[in-house]
Amino acid sequence: MVLVTIFILPLLGGAAIAAVPGRRSTAWVAVATNGAALVLGILTAARVVRHGPLSGAWGALRADALSVFMVIVIGAISLMASWVGIRTMAREQAEEQGNPARSSRYGMLVQAFVAFMLLAVLAANVGVLWVAVEATTIVTVFLVGHRRTRGSLEAAWKYIVICSVGIALAFLGTVFVYLAALHAGGHSAQALDWTSLMAHAHRFNPSLMRLAFGLLVLGYGTKVGLAPMHSWLPDAHSQAPAPVSALMSGVLLTVAFYAILRFKAVTDVTLGPGFARTLLVVVALLSLALAASLLITQRDYKRMLAYHSIEHMGLIALGAAAGIRLAIAAVLLHILGHGLAKSVLFLTSGEIMAAEGTSQIDGVRALLARRPALGGVFGVGLVALLGLPPFSLFTSELVMVRAEFQVGLGWAAVLAMVAMVVIFIAVVGHARHMLLGPPESPGVAVPPPRWVATPLVGGLAVCGFIGVFAWPLSGLLEAAARVVAS
């Protein structure tokens, strides 16, 4: 019952927006429902860690520690994004390019997006997971194209065509997994449940599973934004409204990665860890190399953040390749930390873009002096994202590297660190450009209102808090890692 409620809550928020369009108060209802989903997720997590997995909706939904961890990630980021989204929409209406119908449609699509993402991680069945991920692809198209400029329409077209191909390949992979399961004596109705797959995977046909997992990595990897299937990502992230970029970066990419993580567990049972590891190491290193090379010459700060997401997805893939429990726990912590920091940065970049009127790095100067609040949040966010202490990304990156050395992937970890150093230098260079320096004209900038600053500062505070005190999460992380790592 509680699982159904978690899934329904964001939809109720969307229904509220649909029922009374164009009112700011109904948008707050949506924020409240997303917050409630987060709280329910945390409560469920506490229960799952203590008493084991929960089922709901006649077995269609299932929450183990990994699922509820993802629910918390989705809940936290959607809370921030819908909160700041109120400001984005209010601004759009003031600039007369928006009308109430458009902003309420935006709100409904965001809520549908959140609901489908929650369904994807709570689904007991890999088929339902696929349907939910595909549904979010479709819902996001109009969010990417929301501004209806040439750039945003082009980004939306690329996004749906590339991701549809990707998700189709993931479907073919799912078909082959189902075939393997049926031949191993699975019952057609339950053969696609995660629990049944894990239980029978040792009897699956190995060469079929190799083919299936390859397709699944290619397919869901497209949505994760792993190279070489990443080409939609920078365009979509830079053209979408800021809250949508935050949701895509923090939620969409990681939920697709969650699918890979689950299928990797099944594949590992059939084939041993070697096959999945090789595949993930290759895409991870490719992604890191690509992100590093394109970040050096980046001129647009939203695209900079987008390529930074590709880097972090590469790091996560490398951590997953290591595959031991320690590595998976770090991967999950990294998913949460990256989601929080990157969402704050995207949301702040939306504010900066509105204030400065450009998304070019060259067009923004001396932000810390002129707009201390925005510049400060942006700067601290970058510090978090670059993996400096005290933020949780520092901890998770350190642990991932340690785990990679433990399983003999030290060489890959060293290559990754080289890429990270290059990225560090490139991003610090861009950030110095934007943040530091004397202001050209002494003007008084209006800081963002306190209700907008609250979720941004809050997100960074949480990211710092879990970096220093891991204890509230350690039980959950351990239990979640145990789900997919032996």
Helix (H) or strand (E) holding 33: helix 24-51
Cβ 334 vs Cβ 316: under 8 Å: yes
C-alpha distance from residue 473 to each of 235, 392, 477 (Å): 34, 11, 6
Cβ 135 vs Cβ 116: under 8 Å: yes
* Residue 143 CB partners (closer than 8 Å, separation 6+): 106, 109, 110, 113, 240, 241, 244
Closest CB to another protein among 73 and 244? 244
Closest CB to another protein among 82 and 137? 137
Closest CB to another protein among 198 and 208? 208
Cβ 297 vs Cβ 429: under 8 Å: no
Site residues, another protein (CB under 8 A): 125, 127-128, 130-131, 134-135, 137-138, 141-142, 145, 148-151, 153-158, 160-161, 164-165, 168, 171-172, 175-176, 178-179, 182-183, 188-189, 192, 205, 207-208, 211, 234-235, 238-239, 294, 297-298, 303
Closest CB to another protein among 261 and 295? 295
Closest CB to another protein among 235 and 268? 235
Beta-carbon-side half-sphere exposure of residue 154 (alpha carbons within 13 Å)? 8
- Closest distance of CB 368 from another protein, Å: 27
Expressed in angstroms, the distance from the first to the final Cα of the chain is 30
Q: What single-letter amino acid sits at 372? A: P
- Closest distance of CB 300 from another protein, Å: 9
- Closest distance of CB 152 from another protein, Å: 9
- Closest distance of CB 315 from another protein, Å: 21
Q: Where are the alpha helices (DSSP H) in 357-449?
A: 367-370, 372-385, 392-406, 410-435
- Closest distance of CB 166 from another protein, Å: 11
CA dist., res. 466 & res. 333, Å (int):
9
CA dist., res. 204 & res. 323, Å (int):
20
Closest CB to another protein among 228 and 410? 228
- Closest distance of CB 371 from another protein, Å: 27
- Closest distance of CB 231 from another protein, Å: 10
